Each structure stands twice: as C-alpha cells, then as structure tokens.
C-alpha cells in the first residue's frame, strides 16, 4: 500500500471520528491532525491499535492507532460482550480494575469501570495506583470473572497499555484470548461503546486491601528468627516513580525489616519518569540513582521495581566490595535456592512439589530443583503460561516458585502473575539468611555456582525497524529454522527445538519428537557442552532476540573472574559462528 492510499484511509477514519460523539479535546486533536503533518495523521489512523493476546499497548494520543478512551472503550466493550456470553448463567459478573502511575492511567481505568457497569458488570476499582500483582490477587480474592490493569510495564513514558486477566488471576490464554479478540474486532465504531456507567456497580478498593495483600506475602516468610537477628539489613529500594512506592516498603516492614532506605527523587509518582530515560530495571541506567544511594549508605542490597511492580532488578556487592547488577537468571537462582533449601531443611518437601520456568531461563534453576526431587516445567516466554501450569496443577501438586529471565518471579500460588512486591520481600529474607551465615548475597551465588556449575547467560537483540526490518527478521528466522548449524563454537549441535513446527530434532540421527507446548516462533539449539542458544522475534518491538547460555566449572570463588572471561569468550565465538552482529 503506497503513501497516498494510506493517507486516504487515514483521512476517512479521522473524518469518521469527527462525525462521532467524541469529547471536545479529542475533536480538537483530530482536527489538528487533519490540518497538520500527513505522517502524524497516518501514524494515528492508518490502522486500528491491535488488541492482541495480552490486550493493548501503544502510544497515547488521538486516533484509532493510539491509546485513548475510545480505543480503551472498544477493548472494554468487546471484553464485556464476551464476559456476558461466557458467564451468561451467573447471577453476578464481577471484574477487578487497577492502574499504574502512567499519564492517563486513572482516566483509562475509570473509563473501563464505567463501560463495564454500563453493561451490568460489577467493577472493583482500586482507589489509586496499585501494582499489577495486587490486581491478580484481587481477582481471586473477590471471586471475579476477569480483571484489567492499565499499564505499559517498563515502556517509555509515551506509552500506555491494557492487560486482561481471567478468573484464575492469570493473564488470558487460549481459547479466551482469541475469543476476546474477535469480540473486540466486532466493535466497529465509537457508537457501539456503552459509556454511561452505573456508579452503584463500582466498588472502590482502598488501603484495607493492601493489608490483606501484604499479609498474604508475609505468610510466605520462611525464617522469622533469622530476620529478627538480621532486621537491620540495609535495603535500598526504588520504585522508579511507580506503583511499588508504598507496597514494597510495607511488605518489607511487615516481615520484619526495619532499615529500608529510600531514593526520595524516585519515590515521586510521575508518569513522565523524570529521573530516567526508561523505567526498566533490566537497564543499568534505571538503577543508577539507586546504586548511588546504595554506595552512599553502604547498603547490603539494592532493589528496583518497574512502574507496575511486577519485575525487580537487584544489585549487590561482589567479593571486592564493588557494586554489580545481577541479571534475571542470577536473581531467580538465588530466590529458588533459598526457597528450596528452606523447605528441605524444615522437612516440608513431600515429593509432590514443582517449579516452573520459561524455556529461555537458565537451566541452573532446573538443576537446583531436581537435586531435591522437585519437578520442573518449562513453558513458553510469558508469565501467563506459568499461571496456566499452576491452574492445571491446582489441588494436585504444590507450586513453589516460577521465574523468567526477564526479572519476573513468583512465590506460591495466591498470585498468578510475576510479583515484584513479594519477590522483594523474599529476596530480602534470602539476603538476611546469607548474612546470618557470614556470607554476602554474591558469595551465596558463588556457592551455588560451585555446587551446580557456573551458568553465564547473555541476551543480544538485533533491531530492524520498518517494513523492510520485519522482512529481514522473517528471513533470519527462516534461515535459522531451515538451515541450522551442525557445529557451533567447535561443539556439536545435539538438539534443535522448533516451537513453531512443534518438533524436536536429535542430531546427528535426525530423529524427531513432538513438542507439546503451544506454537511459538522460537528456535533453540542445544550443544554438546551444555550451551543453549534461543532465537525469537520480539512480540512487542521491531527486534529479534538471541539468548545465550553457556556453562563452565567453578571450583573456587577466587576463580570467578577467570571463568567468567572464558565463558564470555565462548559466547562471542558462538555469535561469530552464527553471524550475529
């Protein structure tokens, strides 16, 4: 489709909006788009903001391809229509609604509540910003059939999003995701949205629920005596302007920590994220102010959560006293090791426990679990798949922990999404447990490596923007899928997992086995030396991701830097062999 055709489509859509009953501010913005730069008009109207399997996410502004009360309204009306069909026999249909700190999040949350109630659906609406995991917990607590959280997670300030949850507290998966998408697509015009809500059906949820939520987190504390001895553990915490600002310190205090140090500039709730370029705890720059405060106060640990407080980044001091950022796999291993060790020492393991991790998460977590006879489930990337395994095993087996390499963790089954509030509390407890044994948190990690092997992981993303970029990414995936290497970095490829064709191929025999996980555009190569290479296009950004995991032997803590250098060199060789720039 050429530029003039896109412009014509965009003009017609914009004029259709002007002929609808829209608010004066939006009308003014649309009129300005029609009179202004053609590129902005096309970007805003050339297509409809896609309601995908997780909901909506996009740049805020006027237009059918933007996040605003009308695109949010269409999503909500479609979801409401589906709920009314799916739960037609219910006396009462209920939803829970929360939002993060972003600009317009409160407006979108209130709009969502009004539309649900206009359709006769009761809405439990949090009175102000709250973490995403608290929304998941609320769905189960209030016995809701669905839930919505307004958040764009760690995206830049221009973005907002709309995530949908089901009655188990997990994000929607098949078949509900596909069915909801069809209902949303059926909403063709603004007039199809019921905006006039019923205030009697909106139930405000306030601070009293925070007590219930943090009491639940406290129930997962495993070693209160150690916390008493180490209650002065110095914890620097930053919410990076987001929803963890009150709940994380509250949870830490509730389980017994009394030395929580704030980063005042980042305690300010602000959707513009004024102190960071990106509020993503995976990026070192997002934790720079927290690190400065940790150094200034000689803290024991730094914790930083993303805007909706479902992911947490951790920093600790290494053996030379220098502050380092842990990656998601390292934090997950420390959390998993602490939980399982405590369960084992307290005689709580029965042989009917399990953990869940994603296919791109470190095998170190699986090694830790299997040592204690704990079953390991591997799932596709996305915490909704971890939630689904919990749902399948409900009443049959005990869920201990779930983890994904992208800084998301969950302890216990009361929440069904990654939970940084809970993770901060239990990680602090694990750090106190290490300190009680005269170990730093980093030294505990080295002990884990000595026992199980040193896994080093690295994520490399290749960005390819625009239509041409999308074609390049497709071609790259085609090559890796249809012309796979047989040797990488001097080591034989022993196994190829293709999650799109749902086939595992063993080399050199070529013998194949089915993969039972859902289809996903992911390829994995397993090498004879224990290395794992995972390749997948991003579902939300114009890039292709390469996950590298290599394994070495660490016999002494003093050898850590030397072995690290060897493993980094191996990853570099793998990248060169695969022609990854």
User: Range(s) for CATH 3.30.310 in the chain?
Assistant: 454-577
pTM: 0.95
pLDDT tens digits, one per residue of 69-94: 999 999 999 999 999 999 999 999 99
Task: Say whether pLDDT at 342 is over 90.
Answer: yes
pLDDT tens digits, one per residue of 454-507: 999 999 999 887 778 888 999 999 999 999 999 999 999 999 999 999 999 999
Fold of 454-577: TATA-Binding Protein (3.30.310)
Identified catalytic residue from 10, 153, 362, 520: 153
pLDDT of residue 540: 63
- Choose between 444 and 54: higher pLDDT: 444
pLDDT tens digits, one per residue of 143-196: 999 999 999 998 899 999 999 999 999 999 999 999 999 999 999 999 999 999
Note if 153 is an active site residue.
yes
DSSP state of 518: P
pLDDT of residue 94: 98
Instruction: Tell me the C-alpha to C-alpha distance, in Å, between residue 407 and each of 283, 326, 410.
Output: 11, 10, 10
- Start-to-end C-alpha separation, the chain: 31
pLDDT tens digits, one per residue of 402-447: 999 999 999 999 999 999 999 999 999 999 999 999 999 999 999 9
pLDDT of residue 48: 92
Q: Please give the CATH architecture assigned to the domain spanning 48-205.
A: 3-Layer(aba) Sandwich (3.40)
> Under a CB-based contact definition with an 8 Å cutoff, are residues 9 and 2 in contact?
no
Task: Say whether pLDDT at 347 is over 80.
Answer: yes
User: Range(s) for CATH 3.40.120.10 in the chain?
Assistant: 48-205, 213-451
Fold of 213-451: Alpha-D-Glucose-1,6-Bisphosphate; Chain A, domain 3 (3.40.120)
CA distance 338 to 27: 56
Task: Say whether pLDDT at 581 is over 80.
Answer: no
Task: Say whether pLDDT at 1 is over 90.
Answer: no
pLDDT of residue 154: 87
- Choose between 37 and 536: higher pLDDT: 536
b/e per residue, 396-408, with b = 16+ CB within 10 A?
A: ebbbbbbbbbbbb
**3-state secondary structure string across 331-398:** HHHHHHHHHHHHHHHCCCCCCCEEEEEECCCCHHHHHHHHHCCCEEEEECCCHHHHHHHHHHHCCCCE
Size of the chain in residues: 581
pLDDT of residue 468: 83
pLDDT tens digits, one per residue of 263-278: 999 999 999 999 999 9
Report the 10 Å Cβ neighbour count for 513. 12
pLDDT of residue 467: 72
Q: How confident is the model at residue 52 (pLDDT cuts 50, 70, 90)?
A: confident
Task: Say whether pLDDT at 214 is over 70.
Answer: yes
pLDDT of residue 465: 79
**Mean pLDDT score of the chain:** 96
Average pLDDT over residues 239-243: 98
Q: What is the secondary structure of 91-148 as a DSSP string?
A: S--EEEEEE-SSTTHHHHHHHHHHHHHHTT-EEEEESS---HHHHHHHHHHTT-SEEE
pLDDT of residue 37: 86
pLDDT tens digits, one per residue of 93-115: 999 999 999 999 999 999 999 99
Average pLDDT over residues 189-211: 97
b/e per residue, 350-368, with b = 16+ CB within 10 A?
A: eeebbbbbbbbbbbbbbbb
């Amino acid at each position: 489709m050429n530029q003039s055709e896109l412009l014509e489509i965009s003009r017609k859509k914009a004029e259709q909006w002007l002929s609808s009953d829209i608010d004066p501010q939006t009308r003014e913005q649309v009129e300005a788009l029609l009179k202004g730069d053609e590129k902005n008009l096309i970007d805003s109207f050339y297509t409809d903001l896609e309601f995908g399997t997780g909901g909506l996410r996009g740049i805020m502004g006027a237009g059918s391809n933007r996040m605003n009360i009308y695109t949010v309204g269409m999503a909500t009306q479609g979801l409401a229509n589906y709920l009314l069909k799916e739960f037609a026999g219910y006396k009462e249909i209920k939803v829970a609604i929360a939002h993060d700190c972003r600009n317009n999040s409160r407006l979108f949350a209130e709009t969502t509540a009004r539309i649900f109630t206009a359709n006769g659906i009761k809405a439990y609406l949090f009175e102000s910003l709250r973490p995403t995991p608290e929304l998941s917990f609320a769905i189960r607590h209030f016995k809701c059939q669905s839930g919505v959280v307004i958040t764009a997670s760690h995206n830049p300030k221009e973005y907002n999003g709309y995530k949908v949850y089901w009655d188990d507290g997990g994000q929607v998966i098949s078949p509900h995701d596909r069915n909801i998408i069809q209902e949303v697509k059926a909403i063709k015009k603004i007039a199809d949205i019921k905006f006039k809500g019923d205030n009697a059906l909106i139930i405000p949820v306030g601070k009293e629920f925070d007590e219930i939520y943090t009491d639940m987190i406290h129930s997962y504390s495993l070693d209160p005596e150690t916390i008493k001895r180490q209650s002065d553990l110095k914890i620097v915490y930053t919410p990076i302007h987001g929803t963890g600002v009150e709940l994380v310190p509250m949870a830490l205090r509730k389980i017994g920590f009394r030395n929580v140090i704030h980063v005042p500039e980042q305690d300010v709730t602000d959707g513009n994220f004024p102190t960071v370029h990106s509020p993503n705890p995976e990026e070192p720059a997002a934790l720079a102010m927290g690190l400065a405060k940790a150094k200034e106060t000689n803290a024991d640990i730094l914790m930083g959560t993303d805007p909706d407080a479902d992911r947490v980044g951790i920093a600790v001091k290494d053996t030379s006293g220098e502050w380092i950022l842990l990656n998601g796999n390292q934090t997950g291993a420390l959390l998993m090791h602490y939980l399982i060790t405590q369960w084992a020492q307290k005689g709580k393991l029965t042989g009917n426990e399990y953990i869940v991790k994603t296919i791109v998460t470190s095998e170190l977590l699986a090694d830790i679990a299997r040592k204690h006879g704990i079953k390991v489930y591997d799932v596709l990337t996305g915490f909704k798949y971890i939630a689904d395994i919990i749902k399948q095993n409900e009443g049959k087996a005990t869920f201990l922990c779930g983890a994904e390499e992208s800084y998301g963790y969950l302890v216990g089954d009361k929440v069904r999404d990654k939970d940084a509030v809970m993770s901060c509390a239990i990680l602090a407890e694990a750090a106190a447990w290490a300190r009680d044994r005269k170990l730093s948190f980093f030294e505990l990690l080295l002990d884990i490596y000595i026992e199980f092997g040193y896994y080093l992981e690295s994520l490399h993303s290749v960005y390819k923007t625009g239509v041409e970029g999308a074609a390049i990414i497709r071609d790259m995936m085609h090559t890796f899928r249809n012309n796979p290497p047989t040797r990488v970095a001097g080591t034989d490829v022993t196994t190829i997992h293709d999650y799109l064709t749902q086939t595992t191929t063993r080399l050199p025999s070529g013998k194949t086995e089915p993969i039972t996980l859902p289809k996903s555009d992911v390829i994995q190569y397993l090498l004879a030396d224990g290395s794992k290479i995972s390749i997948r296009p991003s579902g939300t950004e114009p890039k292709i991701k390469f996950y590298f995991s290599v394994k070495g032997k660490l016999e002494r803590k003093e050898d850590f830097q030397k072995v690290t250098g060897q493993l980094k060199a191996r990853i570099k060789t793998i990248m060169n062999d695969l022609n990854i720039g």
